[in-house]
Structure 1
Amino acid sequence: MFFRILFIVSSFCFFGQVVFGQSGQSPLLDSIPIESLEEVVLTATRTERQLSSLPLPVTLVSKKRIVQSGAIRLDEILTEQTGIVTVADESGFEGVQIQGIASDYILILIDGVPLVGRSAGNFDLSRLTVGNIKQIEVVKGPSSSLYGTEALGGVINIITEKPETDDLSGNVSYRIGTFSQQDMNLDVQQRLDKFRYAFFANRFSSKGYDLNPNVEGQTVNPFENYTVNGRFYYDFNDKLTLFASTRFYDQVQDASLFLDEVQFEGDSEEKEWNAHTRLDHKWNEKFTASYELYYTNYIANERLADPISDNILSDSDFDQTLFRPELRGSYTFGSNSSSRGFDGGTLTAGFGFQFDQLDRTFFDETVRFDSQYVYAQYDFNPLEGVNVIAGARFDNHSEYNNQFSPKLAMRYKLTDAIALKGSIGYGFKAPDFRQLYFDFTNSAVGYTVLGYNVALDKLRELQDQGQISNVVVSESDLNDPLQAESSIGYNLGLTYKKGKWNSEINLFRNDFKNLIDTRIIARKVNGQNVFSYVNFDEIFTTGFELNTVYSINNALNISTGYQLLFAYDKTKRDQIEKGEVFARDPETNQTVLIDQSDYFGLVNRSRHNANLKIFYDIPSAHTNINLRLLYRSKYALFDTNGNGLIDTYDTSFVDGFVTTNISASKTFYQNFSLQIGANNLLDYTDGNIPNLPGIQGYIKLNYKF
């Protein structure tokens, strides 16, 4: 550990000498794009809008900030944003939590189309490289009025770069870091008259690490993955443009498990491929249309066996495919009364079809969903200084009740510097394949988990086999369709932007109902249970976010962020109010009655999250330096005293902690840049946090051509 810290400190000392020893170089050809003063976002409204004018809570992360921070995977850069927390599930996959809403309910897009592959619940953000990203847009709160299922808690859209220059341009980079982590990028772009193309390739690997030497195996096993992306644009004329993109991802990772004094070994493999085609047609000055076709396939396989006897412990497969054609258009109405500030507004509407299928171990057969949807949104200014967005979407699905998802947002410009904004929206998440069709029996322990749609038939089969001692639910309880999970989200914000200051406060509340969880439906003769799924939970998350950016001058930028979060189960609060919840005090070993002050809230939610970021550019030395401090207060991993909730007497709390990330970059010989950095500089570790393996130093060399 001492040598790792010494390495980082020595590197920065050397870097400082390099920085200030070459200030007399020729003028810098900046390798980092300059940020626009009025940043444009697409995700919140599906049309181009200036970030500062939106009535919705949106976070935008620019390419400049991504490059300066030294992030190489999506989870790294998102965890530094206010109100966004990355959380690892039991598989080790890192998902994202927004406003206290779990990653299962956050939709992940790339260039506006959805990614699939939640084989363990979380969408693994670490499988997405940021090497060719133009910007990341995060819409907070229910967004089903535009995007349908899985957008119950928000949307993250990754937008790739579009070639703009006629000359061949691009970057080649190599980064090496702690744990033999290596990241290599090749990015090539060019515009040839009407034709544009971009090619990107990434290789990322690591030997993994071990946070608990007392347990056999590593916390993260060695892995190697590749990402290849090609994008093509063709301008037929000034009204018709074709976009086509294809992306391929492949990862192989060692897998091992020590069980009953036997070391099982194998590997896990992930493959993802998607193809996206869109034709953008500008019919006239008022009407534009897009014709889109999208296909994606995600495959994950894992095999564990005894290397001596070749006895197989597990052999699982996951193969998901999604196909989606969509047609949408936008029509801008003429201004009716500009003297009152009124404009005709823009109407955006679309419809499409989605076909989703999954072939998975523990499913009897390949299962399929199909759905049809239509949506519309009207964005207009009824009065001077007032912007209103009203939208709704209707989804017709083959496996659950139809969904109608409305949303209303408004922004009122009080002064040139101050604006008030608010929104209310409905979000939903359809029951997934696992919740409907799972058929799994743990061979070691003996319990069974059944998807809701197959539970009744499978339960009868187990009864015929003499495996069931008693059924604890009525047959009618398993006949009604499983409902989609839903939420209503409220956001109320105030923004201040003047001179060097840019601040925003946003109050939020999200009320959920029909959340899906497991319940016991029968008991087996071996003493184990049969589980299935049911709608019953009602929870809410509420709090506020505060973001402030202060630009001291053109070179020095300071930003701070803070989130206060309360996340509770309404049913548990009612039980506490009725005096029905008890816990055992670990200090006195006495049973005590729980009151509301003892109820901590939902698992994996921190009451406080904060960040402080300092970015400093030194143009004369062609250098930038930045420091980012991230704080997360204590949170609980699971219920340890068996009363079904997290209270002050539980012992699974992770104490609050601060991570410190730092990096410095210098450009030399016009086209070369060197970056040295360290994440988690203070070397904080906790065996309960698998994605925080201690200090991670790195050096990166980039050549821009």
Structure 2
Amino acid sequence: MKKGLLQTLIVTAILSGMNGVVSAGGGQNTSKLDEYTLDDVVVTAQRVETKDLDTPATTTVITAQQLKDTGATTTYEAIERVPGLNAFSYGQGGEAYGGMFSRINIRGLDRGTLMLIDGVPANMLNYNSFLNTIPVDSIEKIEIVKGAGSVLYGADAFGGVINIITKKSEGKKVRGSVSGTIGSYEKNYAVTVGNEDVTLTYQRDYRKPVHQIGRIYTTGTSRKARANGTKDYVFLNLRLSDKLTANYSYADTNSEYDTFKYDGGGTKDWTKPEYRYHWDLKTQRVGLTYDDSDRQWRTKFAWARQTIRPFAGNGTTNTDSNSYHFETQKAWDLRGGKDNLVSGLEFHSENVEDHTKTEATMRRDSYAAFLSYTRQFNDYFSATFGMREHFVKANSYEQRQNVFLPQIQTLYKISPKAVWYVNIGKSFEMPAVNSWFPAATRKVLKRQHEMKPQVGWNYETGLKFGDQKESVKLAVFRMMVKNKFVWIKDPSDPTISIQANQDEFRNVGMELEYNKQINPHLSARIGGYYANPQARDGQKWKQADARQQYFLGLQYRNAKLRVNTDWYITAKRQDAYYLMTGKTQTQAKRGPDHRVPNRIEGNLTMSYEMTPDQTVSFGVYNILNRENPINEYEYWSLPRNYRLSYTYQF
């Protein structure tokens, strides 16, 4: 550890010699910017507008233009390339099947990342599976804040927060766009139209079959194949007044995967139909925001609903889930604007009904009060003291919880373009509402599979240097969590997966992001993550997630042409969930026999502006055509594939 800290200090000393001047501008509309800089405004980290350089946390912002440049068709594709973030999905772009939810984790902790839509929590059943419910064309920017976040944003924010900020059109004139994409494994079209009062987006995706979507272990196991699927998005943004806005999102996903057994006599291949898993997943969300900037008063409400229905076949997940969230906050400028105080109240309710179980209906209500005070001690040093009192109401399954969550952050300005920060906070998260219902009756389940909340601490220190031409972010962190949530096979029925607690989770590591504008046309981005995520169940610690991530991006642009290439590697990964025989370690009563292989993804995208209103784009993805496993179950991303897109603006 001492050696690692010494290396960090050496790197810091080298970077502190960088040249550049911080821009004097602030409060820019990031939807109009090609790149994000340290001088741009971040609203997520402290619930009030602060510049990145003045924010005591690790922050990453992806602008609308950067989303286009990467060719991302889903939010997952864009954010899984950020160092320290890891996608857990069942296929490319956050593919999910029924209750097999895809999600993003931060710094190796599954189910510890909170998703926000316009600043309002949008997790469901402890997962950020709503990430793919907003069309990419409706996103203005994505703010990612790593580290302790539970004090300001509540449960689920163990590893950090992902805030999707949606677009708001400007002007009375009606404007819009029409786009279409044709690809090797997908096609879609989208229409957006609106003005400053109302904006509507509709998108429809078609997914083509994929012959094999994961590892085949032995002839005794099955081949999984993706079938045809569709997805419909609707997103509506309304400006009801100067202070009141509303939005509505709807997504309907029809997904299916099939399994095939090995034909030992005829084809010598996995061609015999075995099982068919076919679901319809619908999500809806309504958000209301009242924002009185003059009085620094903000109130928000959100309702979300998720329904899963099995079609004909072997899929069994059949649930309805709802959540309601209300919050109000007030900010005050103190001591002539030197200090800032933010306080607020929250109410959150979540319920789930499982139609395949006996009496499997549950509701959980929670309440919270939070306070955050930022004190400017002098021109160089400031500190933020935060606290949250979090109450969880008792129900027929769970005891009442009353948890106090403190947080302290400090910021020291080394120079006008460099800062050093510290961020320490406690986090708390209840088990998923549906964690009590993996089998027949709730009474038996409570006795056999009772779960505890996971509680932990985040410690982080970091440095930020830079200006509009060059910037560096370096962070060193430590996470400690008790009662980590995991999925295991039910000891009484190995065909069923249930949620349970492990004893502990810990992670120590560092992250680095470097951005450089090489010349007016060429820019580069380099990032890395090196850590040691471990989980303990009993006396033995074992690796819980990937230890290394690397990212390299280059972009060329001129008046009409933009060329972008991204390469990212996930390495030194954890043990695979299944043995090479296809059995789990528990079933085989032995240890692991292989690790999850490294994931190496390389993409190349190009866009050309034929006229001011027309743009054509082309992308090549998974250039090396690797069988890249996304998660510990060894589901793969897509083979090498191509996409051609056309956009017309009016």
Relative to the length of structure 1, the TM-score reads 0.76
Residue 429 of structure 1 aligns to which amino acid in structure 2?
E
2:487·2:500 contact (CA, 8 Å) conserved in 1? Answer: yes
Residue 353 of structure 1 aligns to which amino acid in structure 2?
F
- Structure 2 residue 346 is the aligned partner of structure 1 residue 352: yes
**Alignment partner, residue 268 of structure 1:** 279
Report the Cα offset of residue 482 of structure 1.
4.4
**Alignment partner, residue 489 of structure 1:** 458
Seen in structure 2, the aligned counterparts of structure 1 residues 289 and 537 have a Cα distance that, compared at 3 Å, is same
Q: How does 1:310-325 map to 2 (within 5 A)?
A: 313-325=314-326
Secondary structure of the structure 1 residue equivalent to 2:173: coil
Q: Distance in 2 between matches of 1:679 and 1:519?
A: 34
- Structure 2 residue 626 is the aligned partner of structure 1 residue 684: yes
Secondary structure of the structure 2 residue equivalent to 1:650: coil
Alignment match of 1:302 (pick from 310, 313, 316): 310
- Structure 2 residue 192 is the aligned partner of structure 1 residue 190: no
2:322·2:350 contact (CA, 8 Å) conserved in 1? Answer: yes
1:244·1:278 contact (CA, 8 Å) conserved in 2? Answer: yes
Q: Distance in 2 between matches of 1:275 and 1:520?
A: 36
Seen in structure 2, the aligned counterparts of structure 1 residues 633 and 280 have a Cα distance that, compared at 3 Å, is same
Alignment match of 2:577 (pick from 604, 627, 638): 638
Q: Distance in 2 between matches of 1:244 and 1:127?
A: 16
2:277·2:315 contact (CA, 8 Å) conserved in 1? Answer: no
Q: Distance in 2 between matches of 1:412 and 1:394?
A: 28
**Alignment partner, residue 547 of structure 1:** 513
Alignment match of 2:554 (pick from 590, 597, 614): 614
Report the Cα offset of residue 85 of structure 1.
1.5
Q: Distance in 2 between matches of 1:685 and 1:663?
A: 21
Report the Cα offset of residue 377 of structure 1.
1.1
**Alignment partner, residue 424 of structure 1:** 424
Alignment match of 2:114 (pick from 107, 115, 122): 107
Report the Cα offset of residue 499 of structure 1.
6.9
Deviations 1:395-443 (A, max 9, x none): 11123421222211111001123211110011111022232x21516xx
Report the Cα offset of residue 331 of structure 1.
1.3
Seen in structure 2, the aligned counterparts of structure 1 residues 374 and 454 have a Cα distance that, compared at 3 Å, is farther
**Alignment partner, residue 701 of structure 1:** 646
Q: Distance in 1 between matches of 2:473 and 2:86?
A: 19
The structure with the largest alpha-carbon Rg is 1
Residue 295 of structure 1 aligns to which amino acid in structure 2?
W
RMSD over aligned CA atoms reads 3.1
Gaps of 5+ in 2: 1-30, 91-95, 263-271
Seen in structure 2, the aligned counterparts of structure 1 residues 370 and 207 have a Cα distance that, compared at 3 Å, is same
Secondary structure of the structure 2 residue equivalent to 1:65: helix
- Structure 2 residue 280 is the aligned partner of structure 1 residue 280: no
Report the Cα offset of residue 537 of structure 1.
1.0
**Alignment partner, residue 388 of structure 1:** 383
Residue 557 of structure 2 aligns to which amino acid in structure 1?
D
What is the percent sequence identity of the aligned residues?
A: 20
Q: Distance in 1 between matches of 2:438 and 2:101?
A: 23
**Higher mean C-alpha deviation, range 248-257 or range 38-47:** 248-257
Residue 367 of structure 1 aligns to which amino acid in structure 2?
M
1:208·1:218 contact (CA, 8 Å) conserved in 2? Answer: no
**Higher mean C-alpha deviation, range 684-693 or range 411-420:** 684-693
Q: Distance in 2 between matches of 1:697 and 1:560?
A: 25
Secondary structure of the structure 1 residue equivalent to 2:359: coil
Secondary structure of the structure 1 residue equivalent to 2:592: coil
Secondary structure of the structure 1 residue equivalent to 2:240: strand
Q: Distance in 1 between matches of 2:209 and 2:616?
A: 25
Q: Distance in 2 between matches of 1:272 and 1:643?
A: 35
Deviations 1:238-257 (A, max 9, x none): xxx11111111111123544
Q: Distance in 2 between matches of 1:185 and 1:250?
A: 15
Q: Distance in 1 between matches of 2:150 and 2:426?
A: 7
Alignment match of 1:155 (pick from 141, 158, 161): 161
Report the Cα offset of residue 329 of structure 1.
1.3
Q: How does 1:115-514 map to 2 (within 5 A)?
A: 115-118=122-125, 123=129, 125-179=131-185, 181-191=186-196, 196-211=197-212, 218-236=224-242, 241-257=243-259, 263-265=274-276, 267-282=278-293, 284=294, 287-305=295-313, 313-335=314-336, 343-360=337-354, 361-398=356-393, 399-400=398-399, 401-435=401-435, 437-440=436-439, 454-455=444-445, 482-498=451-467, 500-514=469-483
Q: Distance in 2 between matches of 1:693 and 1:520?
A: 28
Q: How does 1:35-54 map to 2 (within 5 A)?
A: 35=35, 38-54=39-55
Seen in structure 2, the aligned counterparts of structure 1 residues 243 and 454 have a Cα distance that, compared at 3 Å, is farther
Report the Cα offset of residue 143 of structure 1.
0.8
- Structure 2 residue 528 is the aligned partner of structure 1 residue 562: yes
Secondary structure of the structure 2 residue equivalent to 1:383: coil
Q: Distance in 2 between matches of 1:519 and 1:417?
A: 48
Residue 567 of structure 1 aligns to which amino acid in structure 2?
P
Seen in structure 2, the aligned counterparts of structure 1 residues 676 and 689 have a Cα distance that, compared at 3 Å, is farther
Residue 114 of structure 1 aligns to which amino acid in structure 2?
P
1:116·1:298 contact (CA, 8 Å) conserved in 2? Answer: no
Gaps of 5+ in 1: 1-30, 306-312, 336-342, 442-449, 460-477, 577-598
Deviations 1:430-462 (A, max 9, x none): 022232x21516xxxxxxxx76x75356x7xxx
